Amino acid sequence: MTNQPPANCPHAIAISAELDWLGTVIAARLAHFFAGETAPFAPPNAPQHARGSALGDLIARAQLDASARIVFALALAVQVNPAVLDPFFVRNKAIDRPFSEFGGLRTETSSFIPTAITALFLLGGGDTAMRIAMMALFAPDHALRKLAGLELGALPATGATAGTFFGGPLLIAPHRVSELCAGQKPAPDFSPQFPAKRLQSGLTWADLILPREVKHHLDHIAAWLANRDKILDEWGLKARLGHGFKALFYGPPGTGKTLTATLLGQRTGLDVYRIDLSMIVSKYIGETEKNLAQVFDMAEENNWILFFDEADALFGARGAASSANDRHANQEVAYLLQRIEECPALVILATNLRSNIDEAFFRRFQMAVGFPKPDAALRTALWHSVLGKMPLAPDVDLAALARDTPLAGGPITNVARHAAISALRRDATHVSTADLQQAIAGELRKEGRTR
């Protein structure tokens, strides 16, 4: 192979060397196979990678031996340099078809997708006993699966490997490949394939105006995140408790559920990703689970906080499955529940009504935090916080607005925006009471009330 990675990029150098080595392994195994040799196959020696390269560090951390590295390199080659796999396109001239011994899937773009059968051929050739021994590499608890992130894809519906346990493609999640190539975790793009978007705010924890009881619950969650390892390991609760924490935020719109989740991440130094439930439900069976799997895998690796807004869309009371679509939907919910329960990170679900959440789901939360509409004292604090730097006319009485107008924090922010626009449209230098009252009336109409 003639890959030319940048001289100062140890990550690219390591991957290039690994795939060059894979190419020599493939060539040697094919030569051994076609020569009909009966002597044991000895693959070329694996390269040593410089410390600090992402691939070298992964190999050392997962303690991958040469056999495991061959399997991992096969999956890596598909996404980095598929030409390494071209030798497998040789055909069996005696019967004019591909060699079934090589396994693999052929795509419309003429790419060869290696399967576990391909790996077993490289490792064991035609030696059945050796191939059986090498099957242990694909066990769920092997370091290839648990630490390196190798996955066995869905079994093909047709073809030579249809229905075989090892007939699915060898896969490595794209974000893992990106990290191995660049040496750092990529920032995922919001898309149907990754239905989660990072939440950020210019506000700080001090700007969060909530009842004392709510703040107490949030401090409890933050304390868990800060002391989780001590509680589980030093205090001996690991066998009884999982690493994860599941919380339900419930309350009327605009009471601060999304902002709280965002600032909880800011306070604890963790990224917060909101799951778009409208994007995870796919008409294609299996697509929803695949899209969710990538989100949860990255959350587990990076210790993200996952935030499901309007969670009752998937976690509401369930009815009987009267059709194939209903059964598919229930299957998706079951999968989502399973991943949430197994997730070692903090998962927050939000809903406007506590009663919308199915009781079976509700029992799975470690904490339920209610976000009530603010009382007059909290509304006063909210008005001062939101309008603190806005130039206000002398006649503006924020305490009176708070007393007379039962708005939550979200609507108050909308009032501030509309009032500022109104003042600037009439070339005023200050926001007047009339500007605020007009904006308040608009917000109340949106909520279907006048006062």
pLDDT tens, position by position, 375-405: 999 999 999 999 989 999 998 999 999 999 8
Q: Which residue has the higher pLDDT, 280 or 82?
A: 82
pLDDT given at position 5: 46
Write down the CATH number for the domain with range 196-370: 3.40.50.300
| CA separation for the pair 166, 215 (Å, rounded) | 51
pLDDT tens, position by position, 286-312: 666 777 777 888 888 888 999 988 877
Helices (H), 36-188: 54-62, 66-80, 116-124, 128-134, 143-146, 174-182
Q: Which of 411, 438, 412 is nearest to 423 (CA)?
A: 438
pLDDT tens, position by position, 412-445: 999 999 999 999 999 999 999 999 999 999 988 8
pLDDT tens, position by position, 129-183: 999 999 999 998 999 998 898 988 876 555 544 556 688 889 888 878 888 988 8
Instruction: For domain 376-446, give the fold.
Output: Helicase, Ruva Protein; domain 3 (1.10.8)
| CA separation for the pair 449, 427 (Å, rounded) | 30
pLDDT tens, position by position, 315-369: 655 555 555 555 555 666 777 778 888 888 999 999 888 887 777 777 788 999 9
The domain limits of the chain are 10-182, 196-370, 376-446
Structure tokens at 242: 């999982």
Helices (H), 36-154: 54-62, 66-80, 116-124, 128-134, 143-146
pLDDT given at position 161: 47
CB 346 within 8 A of CB 270: yes
Q: Please give the single-letter amino acid code of residue 342.
A: E
Task: Sort 334 into a burial class: Cβ within 10 Å, 0-12 / 13-18 / 19+.
Answer: exposed
Rounded alpha-carbon distances, angstroms, from residue 61 to 38, 57, 146, 147: 35, 6, 11, 8
395 Cβ partners below 8 Å, 6+ apart? 432, 433
Per-residue confidence at 111, pLDDT binned at 50, 70, 90? confident
Q: Which residue has the higher pLDDT, 242 or 260?
A: 260
pLDDT given at position 429: 93
